[in-house]
Structure formats: structure tokens, C-alpha cells
Amino acid sequence: MADPTFFEALRWASIFLEKQQHEDAGRFLLLERQNWTTTQLLTHYRQVMPAATWQQFQADVRRFAQDEPAQYIVGQAPFYGHEFKVTPATLIPRAETEELVEWALAEFPAQQPLRVLDLGTGSGAIAVSLKLARPKWQVCASDISTAALAVATANAQHLGAAVEFKHSDVFAAMDQMQFDLIISNPPYIATSEREVMDASVLAHEPATALFAAESGLAIYRQIFSGLPQHLVANGHFFGEFGYQQRPALTRLVAALLPASQVTFRRDIAGHERMLHIIN
């Protein structure tokens, strides 16, 4: 196809990706590459796509057809109203995690200053989003991956969020630091679940940010074991987990944090995916 309009290019991508049932991926790739809103795309629909843009778009669509995640192709992903740099060193931020951020923000008055820790920050999406929404919060973020921390630091700088970053395996480098709020989207997938996971996730996203031993609960065991030391009295913990893990997490909380209060919440799809603990 020579010199297509933006509309014609999107129709080509839709047909090209039809067998994968990801016909809308072309729209995402184009919007992210052009830094356009949907409204801006509509205003360009009938314009001829520049040759360089058309070549880039074809290359992007073909990479996506080979199971490379669209967010890695364009190098960024939207999260909580902001654009975050992502690389294969970081998980791709998901909409479900936005719900975790929203829950944490809703629990505290907007002007209340808090000391906050984001465990396993990855791209920094949670920590940076919290800081931008609550400038008075003192936000620290940690990760075991130095490559992920480099991405998170770049995101914080680009978005103007004053977040402190620490290289740490859960609480290992936290010394005696205590926080009012700890939040985490830790590795929680059991290795036995590999066979039912999306091929693009397995091939491209970092395994250390996805999988955990003990049927996916090993990192949660570390977190719960460290909460009494690192949460202040009546401190709060928010976490994301797999949709089948509530029973196991309930038992783990009862064993390690018997005096705490725990609440579970469903995500927008109706799955129990989040918990809130007050110690």
C-alpha cells in the first residue's frame, strides 16, 4: 500500500492482526508513537500518512504480530494519567494496578503527610503516581533490579516526582525505616501457571517480577514477616495478588499478622485481586 491515509493504515493493521484477535493494537501503537489523543487521531484520519511514519507503523505492527508487547515496542505505557517509560527490565503497568493506587489514595485525606514505601517498584508507576497525586507524601520506592530502578528513576525525573529510590530485596536494605503506608504489586504467580500465560508475557516481561516460589506466595511471606518492623502502629499495607490467592493469603495473614485487620477488594472485572492490612 503506497501513501495510505491514517485511516487506511489502521484498517490495514486491523486486517493484518485479525487472526491474533488484537485488531485494536494498531491504534495503540499509532497513538503512542504520535503522542496523540483519540480526538487528535480522528482529526488526522483522512490525511496521508508521511512515508517515514508509515514505514515505522508497519514495522511496529509486524513486531507485535511476533508476540512482542506493544508497550515495549513504543517504549512507554500509560498509567494513572501519565506516560511511563518501560523496558524489558520492568513489568508493563496494568489497569488493575491503577485500582490499587486509587484505593490507597482514597483511604487518606489529601493534605495528610505520610511516609510511603512502594516495594518492588519496577517502572516506578505506583510510587510516581502516588507522589504526583499527593505532593506532601514522602515516597520511597525499592526494587531488587538495578535495571528497573534506572527506568523508575528516569520516569520520576521526567514526570517531576521527588521519589527516593533504594536497591533492596523486600526490606533487606531498609534498616530500621518505618512507614505509614506500604504498597506493593509483588511477584505472585506460581511457576506452575506458566502453561496458561500469554506467550508475549513469558517471552518478554521479566520473570523475577512475575514468579514467586511457594505457589506464588514467597514474596508475600517476606513482606508480611517484615510489616511489624517497618509499619508504624496502625500503619497500612496495600497489595495486589492473583485472583485465586485470597484463601492462601488469608491463612498467611492469620499466621504472620494475627492482630491485624485485613480487607479484600475485587477489581473492575469482579476478581478478588487486592488486599488492605492495618497492623
Q: Residue by residue, what is the 3-state secondary structure of 152-200?
A: HHHHHHHHCCCEEEEECCCCCCCCCCCEEEEEECCCCECHHHHHHCCHH
3-state secondary structure of 234: strand
Return the percent helix, strand and coil in the chain, to nearest 5: 45, 20, 35
Q: Which residue has the higher pLDDT, 197 or 35?
A: 35
Q: What is the mean pLDDT of residues 110-129?
A: 96
CA distances from 210 to 67, 193, 203, 206, 261 (A): 18, 11, 12, 7, 27
Q: How far apart are alpha carbons 189 and 204 in whole angstroms?
A: 16
pLDDT digits 0-9 by tens, 249-278: 999 999 999 999 999 999 999 999 999 999
Region for residue 6 given its phi and psi (left: phi exceeds 0; alpha: psi -120 to 50; beta: otherwise): alpha
Q: Where are the domains of the chain?
A: 6-66, 77-278
Question: pLDDT grade, residue 16 (50/70/90)?
Answer: very high
Phi, psi for 263 (deg, rounded to 5): -130, 140
Q: Is 184 annotated as a binding residue?
A: no
Residue 216 assigned ligand-binding role: no
What does the pLDDT read at residue 202?
Answer: 84
Question: Is residue 22 predicted with pLDDT exceeding 80?
Answer: no
Distance CA 63, CA 213 (A): 32
The tally of CA atoms less than 13 A away on the side-chain side of residue 44 is: 19
Do the bridges between strand 261-266 and strand 272-278 make them parallel or antiparallel, or are there none, so unpaired?
antiparallel
Return the DSSP state at 109. Answer: -
Is 123 labelled as part of a ligand binding site? Answer: yes
Q: What value does the mean pLDDT take over residues 109-134?
A: 96
Interval 1-18 mean pLDDT = 92
26 is in an annotated binding site: no
State yes or no: 124 annotated in a binding site. yes
Q: Is 35 annotated as a binding residue?
A: no
**pLDDT of 201-232, one tens digit each?**
888 899 999 999 999 999 999 999 999 999 99
**Positive/negative CA dihedral, 228, 103, 253, 248:** negative
Residue 142: CB atoms within 10 A of its CB come to 24
Q: Any binding-site annotation on 80?
A: no
Overall average pLDDT of the 174-182 stretch: 96
Q: Residue 1 above 80 pLDDT? A: no
CATH 3.40.50.20 fits domain 77-278: no
Q: How many residues does the chain have?
A: 279
Note the pLDDT tens digit of each residue in 183-207. Answer: 999 999 998 888 878 888 888 899 9
The pLDDT of 59-80, averaged and rounded, is 96
Q: What is the mean pLDDT of the chain?
A: 95
DSSP annotation of 81 reads T
Q: Tell whether 143 is in a known binding site.
A: yes
Q: Is 235 annotated as a binding residue?
A: no
Res 20 pLDDT > 80: no
Cell numbers given for 165: 529510590
User: For residue 30, what pLDDT is reported?
Assistant: 96
C-alpha cell at 233: 502502629
Above 80 in pLDDT, residue 15?
A: yes
Closest CA to 33 of 18, 46, 17, 44: 44
Which range is least confidently modeled, 12-21, 66-75, 128-137?
Answer: 12-21
Q: Is 186 annotated as a binding residue?
A: yes
Residue 21 has pLDDT above 90, yes or no: no
Burial bucket for residue 20 (CB in 10 Å: 0-12, 13-18, 19+) = exposed
- Separation of alpha carbons 182 and 19, rounded Å: 42
Residue 24 has pLDDT above 90, yes or no: no
Pick the more confident residue, 110 or 74.
74
Strand 82-85 and strand 76-79: the pairing is antiparallel
pLDDT of the residue at 192: 87
